[in-house]
Amino acid sequence: MAIPSLCENSWSRSSRFMPVLRSAFIALSRNSGLRSFSESSPIGQRLSSRFVAGLEIEDALRATETLNAQGIAATLDSLGENVENPDAARRSAEIYHQLLDAIRKRGLNANVSVKLTQMGLELNPDLASGITAELVGHAVQTDNFVRIDMEGSALTQATLDIVRGLHAGQSSTGPHAGHVGVVIQAYLYRSEKDICELIADGIRIRLCKGAYQEPAQVAFPSKADVDANFVRLMRILVRSGIYHGIATHDEAMIEATRQFVRERKIDPTSFEFQMLYGVRRDLQRALVDQGYRVRVYIPFGREWYPYFMRRLAERPANVLFLAKNFFKN
């Protein structure tokens, strides 16, 4: 079965507008006034529902059940970042503990994705490490897995340090070893070195392009360079013998992965493609039909605004999609 082609529209054909639109949406994601209005507005919640499963845990679990029925796995993200005090960090962690218990009780094919700023990283790295260690311990008890999301480049090293510390406390081996992994962003210059070091430690990685606005001193400024680095890093990952995730909706990146796997005779079930909830659902199903493993990132919660705006920044054509479908049932 052929992978469906990307929807054509005037924005996707006019790449010269993309940097301006991306910068605008990133700036809007930091606007506290617009965020407060949007998160409390029924209109805002309706707009976000394409990319956010809902406000409550149960919404995310129902979305997971729907995807599992289609042969698609899930990773659940309770939205929120940059907590203001330790109690808020612990409350955030409690949601993930509830998720791990619910996933096991319902027999779902799902794990969880966590941002360390939500666990208190910017308050105190030791606080974040301790709270996350408890969460990973719970994942061990429930035979599950915690993926540590990557945030802005200023937090990359601190995030990797914590992940390595958490992974070092585990004793399992093999391609699916360990109960904690991390995300690496292809647009950062440092990522190839980071990936090689993480593979040497046996740590599972999700590779993505990157969704934060970064200076040219630390990140490739052009899409062509990011794409080339993504392919380079993907090739390292899929032949490493460790179970990694290749996270992209870009058909060129997906085809590069499929072609490399075919040429090297790599088992297509030795890695998984990962995609975002509500984005390219046709592509998700097509890959499953072709025998690939697919996992969908399911965000939920009341603090959805920054995540939603980053999705628009990644692909501004989503704005047209939302506008066309807003008044449809």
Could you report the per-residue pLDDT of 304-321, keeping only the tens digit for each? 777 777 666 665 555 555
Tell me, rounded to whole angstroms, the distance of Cα 235 from its chain centroid: 19
pLDDT at position 195 over 80? yes
pTM: 0.83
Burial (0-12, 13-18, 19+ Cβ within 10 Å), 43: exposed
Q: How far apart are CA 52 and CA 38, in angstroms?
A: 13
The per-residue pLDDT for range 256-313, each reduced to its tens digit, is 999 999 999 999 999 999 999 988 899 999 999 999 999 999 999 887 777 777 666 6
Q: How far apart are CA 320 and CA 316, in angstroms?
A: 8
Annotated binding residue at 211?
yes
Domains present along the chain, CATH in parentheses: 53-303 (3.20.20.220)
Catalytic residue at 267? no
Q: Point out the least confidently predicted range of 125-129, 132-136, 146-150, 171-175.
A: 171-175
Annotated binding residue at 265?
no
- Which is catalytic among the residues 22, 35, 77, 149? 149
Which pLDDT does position 25 carry in this prediction? 56
Q: How confident is the model at residue 205 (pLDDT cuts 50, 70, 90)?
A: very high
Q: How far apart are CA 323 and CA 327, in angstroms?
A: 8
Q: How far apart are CA 148 and CA 290, in angstroms?
A: 29
Annotated binding residue at 167?
no
Annotated binding residue at 142?
no
pLDDT at position 48 over 90? no
Catalytic residue at 190? no
The per-residue pLDDT for range 156-192, each reduced to its tens digit, is 999 999 999 999 977 566 666 789 999 999 999 999 9
